[in-house]
Amino acid sequence: MSRPDDATARSRFLSWVLRHAPHEVGVQVDEAGWAEVAEVLAACHARGLPLDRMGLAELVASSDKQRFALSPDGRRIRAVQGHSIPVRLDHPEREPPPCLYHGTVERFLAEIWAQGLVKGQRHHVHLSADPRTAATVGRRRGRPVVLEVAAHAMWTEGHRFWLSPNGVWLTDEVPARYLRRLP
């Protein structure tokens, strides 16, 4: 069993490779974001993060956020969302619940109130199904601020939503008029 810091380092490395920079470590991803497990394992070893197929399967299965998916045959892996590289994930389009949530920090609020939530370098804006998860996301950058998104109102006005396999809601943008700060 690896130490938690080893698992965290491996997870962060996999996120970086599969979401943003496969080319920097010699990993090829297809149009849907899938990479060969053997290439990913070789990249881990080259970076001093030794990992075998069993360890990779354990990392994928035990990840609290379920960031990765293995193909049914176990030969390919991909990140389920959060990419800055071009991929076509084909997550199902869904009607969202009345409200979704976004975690951020105070220093970004002026920009958010001016232009809404934008995807920036990523493919989508990420939203949570509950305020607690959104607060956890926001906490990564400091004291969290949770924004409530009038998701169903957006949907009825033509905005599209997708649901990733790990329960993260995705949309192209959230105009500021659909946002409210939770106390």
For residues 17 and 64, membership in a common domain is answered with: yes
43, 88, 179 from 135: Cα distances, Å? 33, 28, 15
The model's pTM = 0.68
Residue 12 resides in a domain:
yes
For residues 70 and 108, membership in a common domain is answered with: no
Residue 134 resides in a domain:
yes
The amino acid at residue 137 is V
Q: Write the pLDDT tens digit of every residue in 98-140.
A: 999 999 999 999 999 999 999 887 778 999 999 999 999 899 8
For residues 68 and 115, membership in a common domain is answered with: no
Residue 87 resides in a domain:
no
Where residue 144 sits, what CATH number does that domain have? 3.20.170.30
CA distance 17 to 2: 20
Could you say which of 25, 47, 79 is where a domain stops? 79
Percent of the chain, pLDDT > 70? 97
For residues 107 and 171, membership in a common domain is answered with: yes
For residues 8 and 40, membership in a common domain is answered with: yes
> Do 10 and 44 touch, CB atoms closer than 8 A?
yes
For residues 106 and 165, membership in a common domain is answered with: yes
Residue 94 resides in a domain:
no
For residues 69 and 110, membership in a common domain is answered with: no
Could you say which of 28, 44, 79 is where a domain stops? 79
Q: Is 122 helix (H, G, I), strand (E, B) or coil?
A: coil
The structural domain count of the chain equals: 2
Where residue 50 sits, what CATH number does that domain have? 1.10.10.970
Residue 109 has which token pair? 């609020």
For residues 70 and 109, membership in a common domain is answered with: no
> Do 179 and 112 touch, CB atoms closer than 8 A?
yes
CA distance 147 to 63: 25
Residue 20 resides in a domain:
yes
User: What is the crossing angle of helices 53-62 and 37-46, to 10°?
Assistant: 100
What integer best gives the mean pLDDT of the chain? 90
**How sure is the predictor about 4, in pLDDT bands with cuts at 50, 70 and 90?**
very low
Q: Could you tell me the residue range of the domain that residue 145 belongs to?
A: 100-181
Residue from 157, 165, 145, 134 nearest 105 by CA: 145
Percent of the chain, pLDDT > 90? 67
For residues 51 and 109, membership in a common domain is answered with: no
CA distance 122 to 12: 17
Give 103's strand partners. 146
Q: 170: part of which helix (H) or strand (E)? A: strand 169-171
Residue 93 resides in a domain:
no
For residues 68 and 140, membership in a common domain is answered with: no
- How many other CB atoms sit within 10 Å of the CB of residue 175? 15
Residue 69 resides in a domain:
yes
